[in-house]
Amino acid sequence: MSAEEEYDVLVIGSGMGGGAMAARLSDHGLRVVCLEQGYWFDSGKDYAHGLNTWELEKLRGWSYNPNDRQLPEDYPIGGRIKPHLYNAVGGSTNAYGGHWPRYKPVDFRKGTEHGLEGTIDWPISYEDLAPFYDINDAEMGVSGVPGDPAYPPRPGAPRDPTTRPGKLGLKLSRGFDALGWHWWPSDNAIITTGREGRLPCNECGACLSGCPRGSLGGVHVAYWPRALRNGVDLRTGARVEKIDVEKGRATGAVYIDIATGQRHRVKARMVVVAASGIGTPRLLLMSSQRGFPDGLANGNGLVGRHLMHHSYANCDVWFDEPIEGYKGSFGAPFYSQEFYDTDPANPFVNGFTMQVGRSYGAAFTATGSHTREPIAWGPGHRRRFDEDFGNQLLVYVLAEDLPVASNRVLLDDSITDSSGLPGVRVEFQAHRNDIDLTNYGVSRLEEVAAAAGASRVRSTGAQDLQPGWHLMGTARMGNTPEDSTTNKWNQTWEVPNLFVVDGSSLTTGAAVNPTPTIGALAVRAAEYIAQNGGAITAQTVTPANADAPELDHRKVITHV
């Protein structure tokens, strides 16, 4: 096994958390190495975007589910969950819709609001995170319309002009207007003006098949070019087997070169894990060793627990006239948060967002659209296809799920990856609260669709709730070593120089997509590490690093 010189920081994972962390730390002059078990995608030839069969490739080689792809860099995930998880430089931002909402102030205090089923307050507030949302938005490139009354003002967050709503956006918004319900053009991590070699969005509509123009805000086009210019050592095809710990401190990691099978050791003064809400608990649990028999940073048994992935219902909405749902960028044209907050009149807590989306092309329509009920072959196929194609749009009912301790990620030695390391098993049972909340959301969607003049609505409903698109909570931030894995700086309670910055660190799931919040937390944690690195690595530091100074905002880098 080869060894080498010591780096300042080892980052494991190159997606939203890892990419932002590597770029920000290297901006401060720290020597950073990043290990990514996947590879770079060549936007010119690897993306399904340019193929005639691109709609079908979403279900095959470009499936968001690694169990479908079964590539050497993937690892098996047992259970009923169907995770959205790409192991590649940039992670799952290589192929996503780019919908870019923030958490709200209420989302940071759900323990105080209701405290059900493992819910705790965040150790930070929206106001603590707001300046780092601004920085991350500027780095990624966001389009939208300022002034949404559902959110606090955001004077420090510049945005490109919004993507166009299209006929579908204009059509459905009339239903919200008729009911007097909130709606607003969505922020999207999709640039509409060119920048730094990235072309403006041409509204081709195939965002979930990868964007060859760089318009979609992927970490691989937003953060990694600068990180590499700064000298970050990015190693691909590098599957981390174990994080090393000596005398209670992380000293680096052992990784396997997927192509050759050879093991290597990287040494670092600090380690940051950003391997996703499934990959991070997997690695921490695989890193059991002397002093950590149940896995690293898992003395309280919480690593892998409190898995959340949002309670989703896909709803296809049809009209009797063409609304061209297949045209335009896939980023959400608009959303409604009329029912975002807990309503004491309801027998359940939390709320949901109605996120309006687009459709795809002819093949997607024929194979069942977003609710996956294919149009049957036979004499009536053409008639039904003509009724469906071009007349349909998508609405996600995205509801906040509870962080239930029994919903968890476990190692599973019966299934292994291409390197022989254990896969994982996901145990997940939807809480009755989440099912009732999501079904309530579907009813509200049916109401607004009728107000807009829809002819038909078809929904997946909320009985299954196994989409796994957003993976959160499995190494969460908290207020004490008893209720969480990390403190308010994403620093593990048990290993003071080990940090966790990805979806697993989210304390609650909110009713919005998590990627902007993951990025903002990564920027905040990177600035903390850069300013307090000496205290973090000092042998006298307390396990929770309680005596380290707060961030000096005058020293925070704000350039893009």
**386-438 confidence digits (pLDDT tens):** 888 989 999 999 999 999 999 999 999 999 999 999 999 999 999 999 999 99
Q: Which helix (H) or strand (E) holds 212?
A: none
Per-residue pLDDT band at 541 (split at 50, 70, 90): very low
Residue 194, pLDDT above cutoff 60: yes
Q: Name which of 315, 312, 342, 355 is nearest 471 in CA terms.
A: 312
Residue 180, pLDDT above cutoff 60: yes
**Phi then psi dihedrals of residue 422, to 5 deg:** -65, 145
State both tokens at 230.
Answer: 């700064």
Residue 499, pLDDT above cutoff 90: yes
Which is more confidently placed, 138 or 366? 138
Report pLDDT for 560: 53
Instruction: State the alpha helices, DSSP H only, in 452-514.
Output: none
- β-pairing, 352-357 vs 334-336, is antiparallel
Report pLDDT for 236: 98
Per-residue pLDDT band at 540 (split at 50, 70, 90): very low
Span 469-498, mean pLDDT?
Answer: 97
Report pLDDT for 546: 52
State both tokens at 116.
Answer: 């059900």
| CA distance to 91, 144, 159, 222, 474, per residue, from 162 (Å) | 25, 4, 8, 19, 34
Question: How far, in Å, CA of 191 to CA of 199, rounded?
Answer: 8
pTM comes to: 0.96
Sheet hosting strand 334-336, strand order edge to edge? 184-185, 334-336, 352-357, 392-399, 311-318, 456-459
CB 397 within 8 A of CB 442: yes
Q: What single letter denotes the amino acid at residue 270?
A: M
Question: How far, in Å, CA of 353 to CA of 511, rounded?
Answer: 6
Least confident range of 66-80, 147-161, 212-226, 453-467: 453-467
Half-sphere exposure of 365 (CA within 13 A, CB side): 23
Span 433-445, mean pLDDT?
Answer: 95
What residue has token string 């005058």? 554
The answer for residues whose C-beta is within 8 angstroms of residue 328's C-beta and 6 or more apart is: 163, 164, 165, 166, 168, 203, 205, 358
Span 161-176, mean pLDDT?
Answer: 89
Residue 267, pLDDT above cutoff 80: yes
Q: What single letter denotes the amino acid at residue 413?
A: D
CATH superfamily placement of domain 6-358+391-555: FAD/NAD(P)-binding domain (3.50.50.60)
Which is more confidently placed, 531 or 156? 531
- Domains of the chain: which residue ranges? 6-358+391-555
**Phi then psi dihedrals of residue 183, to 5 deg:** -155, 155
Per-residue pLDDT band at 173 (split at 50, 70, 90): very high
40 burial via Cβ count (<10 Å: 0-12, 13-18, 19+): middle
What residue has token string 């958490």? 103
Span 191-210, mean pLDDT?
Answer: 89
Question: How far, in Å, CA of 527 to CA of 357, rounded?
Answer: 35
Span 188-217, mean pLDDT?
Answer: 91
The answer for residues whose C-beta is within 8 angstroms of residue 510's C-beta and 6 or more apart is: 103, 104, 107, 400, 517
CB 468 within 8 A of CB 309: yes
What residue has token string 């896939």? 330
State both tokens at 425.
Answer: 């098993």
pLDDT in tens, 447-469: 999 999 999 999 988 766 676 78
Q: Name which of 490, 488, 485, 487 is nearest 474 in CA terms.
A: 485
Report pLDDT for 558: 73
Report pLDDT for 44: 67
- β-pairing, 77-78 vs 498-500, is unpaired
pLDDT in tens, 29-45: 999 999 999 999 877 67
CB 271 within 8 A of CB 250: yes
Q: Name which of 393, 501, 534 is nearest 23 in CA terms.
A: 501
Residue 71, pLDDT above cutoff 70: yes
Q: How many CB atoms lie within 10 A of CB 52?
A: 8
Angle between helices 126-140 and 16-27 (to 10 degrees): 90
Residue 59, pLDDT above cutoff 80: no
Per-residue pLDDT band at 193 (split at 50, 70, 90): very high
| CA distance to 64, 308, 416, per residue, from 401 (Å) | 21, 6, 30
What average pLDDT does the chain have?
A: 92
Q: Name which of 310, 394, 396 is nearest 353 in CA terms.
A: 396
Coil/strand/helix, residue 505:
helix
What DSSP character marks residue 551?
P
Residue 542, pLDDT above cutoff 70: no
CB 170 within 8 A of CB 180: no
Span 101-113, mean pLDDT?
Answer: 97
Question: How far, in Å, CA of 428 to CA of 407, rounded?
Answer: 5
Q: How many CB atoms lie within 10 A of CB 377?
A: 8
**386-397 burial code (b ≥16 CB/10 A, e <16):** ebbbbbbbbbbb
The answer for residues whose C-beta is within 8 angstroms of residue 513's C-beta and 6 or more apart is: 99, 100, 101, 398, 470
What DSSP character marks residue 369?
G
Question: How far, in Å, CA of 355 to CA of 357, rounded?
Answer: 6
Report pLDDT for 3: 62
Q: Name which of 44, 13, 8 is nearest 26 in CA terms.
A: 8
Report pLDDT for 537: 76
